Homo-oligomer: A and B are copies of this chain.
Amino acid sequence: MLDDARKKEIQELMAVIGRQARAASRPLAMASAERKHAALVSMASTIVARKDEILAANALDLENARETGVAASFLDRLTLSENRVLDMANAIRAIAELPDPVGDIIAEWDRPNGLHIERVRTPLGVIGVIYESRPNVTADAGALCLKAGNAVILRGGSDSLHSSQAIHACLVQGLKDAGLPEHAIQMVPVADRSAVGAMLTGLGGSIDVIVPRGGKSLVARVQNEARVPVFAHLEGLCHVYVDASADLDMARKIIVNAKMRRTGVCGSAETLLIDRKVASTFVAPLIAALRDAGCEVRASEDIRAIVPGLIAATEEDWATEYLDAIISVTLVDGIAGAIDHISTWSSSHTEAVIAEDPAVVERFFAEVDSAILLHNASTQFADGGEFGMGGEIGIATGKMHARGPVGVEQLTSFKYRVRGTGQVRP
């Protein structure tokens, strides 16, 4: 009974947050670019000014986390340092300097009857962001949503609640300084899991889109349960295909970077496909380069026949996003074989082809249907910043609306403005 009472309390709290967000989204959609810029600049300055408060809040979160005995990687994601706080402020400043997308005319044309039609960018409305322990997501997501004229409801992990609240207070100060509605960036103040459930229903029409930021189990839950659109990717099972026409030195450099630069990011490579035609010359040096870089190699039988002593790959390996210093490797029959393997196992995130033959590249670009395809470049470029979008709230693999890096532009919708001089339809 106590549980039910608590649940009801959370439902009501979330409904209020939803209504406040929707109410804030209207003036926000009409806010000038200058005002949003001013708010972002003030948020960044406030974060720098309140650095010590943020670090003190973070120390509290870290102490609680250590008491419950979490993994070192978890602690690392949770930990803020003076430099990380300054980076956060700089990221907001970079978002402030991006062009304002709202009001952009995406396309315009004239009709024979004299009507002039414009397709113009508008905010999406209210965005719900559900994330885990990284406190910097609070700043990134809040700033990106504001830049695109959206209200945002932030629901961070309970482990980082103190840190996120300290950062959130700085964002609200920035809104106040610029005369924008305080409810433009709200943070769910409770750790109850039912708050997430409420957000996934869309809070009675108060949330237009949900962005989950975190591990696979969080994203899977959001994708399964959300009753509103979701911008997300479940995993980044990225492939690199090395064609017979590839420059071997370039292939070596790219595959080591694609796998080992950072193994825990969604754009890191998980499977290497090598053209069977060059097995005798390419396999040994590519695998040696990976092993020299500290990577474990799990290989198909035909690869193991060339480089003895490798661990055997099972079918499960082709389906696994390791997010670790491990790679699966197999031979394929040229570009057709590579496309077959990728169609079967890919998560539609990012794939790369290393080749000098333009016909191979064009076929790869035409037939592989993942959000991001690269030629002669590392899969680790799958990132909004690297795409020149000045920041991203995540990478999406759906086919609707946002696909690939989700930057400020992808956080918008559009409407048509039609200018006439008295036209009626015959």
Contact = CB atoms under 8 A, between A and B. Distances in A.
Contacts of A365: 120, 417
Contact of A122 (B124, B209, B369, B415): B369
Contacts of A103: 366
A373 B418 contact: yes
Interface in A398-421: 399-401, 403-404, 413-421
A204 to B, nearest CB: 14
A308 interface: no
Contacts of A247: 422
Highest count of chain B CB atoms <10 Å: which of A117, A258, A404, A418: A418
A423 interface: yes
A376 B422 contact: yes
Interface stretch (A193-201, A249-257, A278-286): A249-257
Contacts of A381: 115, 418, 420, 423, 425
A369 B400 contact: no
B413 A400 contact: yes
B375 A415 contact: no
A111 B419 contact: no
A25 B124 CA distance: 30
A125 interface: yes
Contacts of A419: 361, 375-377
B400 A401 contact: yes
A422 B247 CA distance: 9
A182 interface: no
A337 interface: no
Contact of A416 (B115, B258, B373): B373
A418 B388 CA distance: 13
A74 interface: no
Contacts of A95: none
Contacts of A229: 229, 400
Nearest to A102: B366
Nearest to A415: B371
A370 B124 CA distance: 12
B415 A372 contact: yes
A29 to B, nearest CB: 7
A413 B378 CA distance: 24
A66 interface: no
A261 B388 contact: no
Contacts of A374: 418, 420
Interface of A: 26, 29-30, 103, 109, 111, 115, 117, 120, 122, 124-125, 208-209, 229, 247, 250, 253-254, 256-258, 261, 343, 361, 365-367, 369-378, 380-381, 386-388, 399-401, 403-404, 413-425
7 contacts: A29-B369, A115-B386, A120-B365, A208-B399, A371-B415, A372-B415, A373-B416
Given A26-B343, A103-B366, 16 more contacts: A30-B366, A111-B387, A117-B388, A124-B399, A125-B399, A209-B399, A256-B424, A261-B424, A261-B425, A372-B418, A375-B420, A377-B421, A377-B422, A381-B423, A400-B400, A401-B401
- Across the A-B interface, the 9 shortest Cβ-Cβ residue pairs: A377-B420, A257-B424, A399-B413, A380-B425, A250-B422, A376-B420, A377-B423, A374-B418, A401-B401
